């Protein structure tokens, strides 16, 4: 992973609490927040298609999952 990617992920993690619920974060950020692998995120988390080769997850969904609530779909 290039250093720029690591810096971007760290910055998103630092600002996560300020992100709106409709924001989309990369799968690596989701994995870091919930302490799971990116493979687990890809296979079991609801995702949003960002481009042909990239998916991400809604911040509001991640917050609901962290609170053990069922996320709105």
- DSSP secondary structure, 21-60, as one string: TT-EEEHHHHHHHHT--HHHHHHHS--EEEETTEEEEEHH
Question: What does the pLDDT profile of the chain (73 residues) look like in tens digits?
Answer: 455 577 888 898 899 999 999 999 999 999 999 999 999 999 999 999 989 998 999 999 999 998 886 555 5
């Amino acid at each position: 992973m290039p250093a720029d990617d690591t810096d971007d992920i760290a910055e998103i993690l630092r600002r996560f609490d300020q992100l709106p619920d409709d924001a989309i974060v990369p799968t690596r950020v989701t994995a870091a927040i919930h302490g799971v692998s990116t493979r687990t995120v890809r296979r079991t988390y609801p995702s949003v298609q960002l481009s042909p080769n990239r998916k991400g997850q809604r911040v509001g969904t991640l917050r609901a999952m962290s609170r053990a609530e069922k996320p709105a779909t």
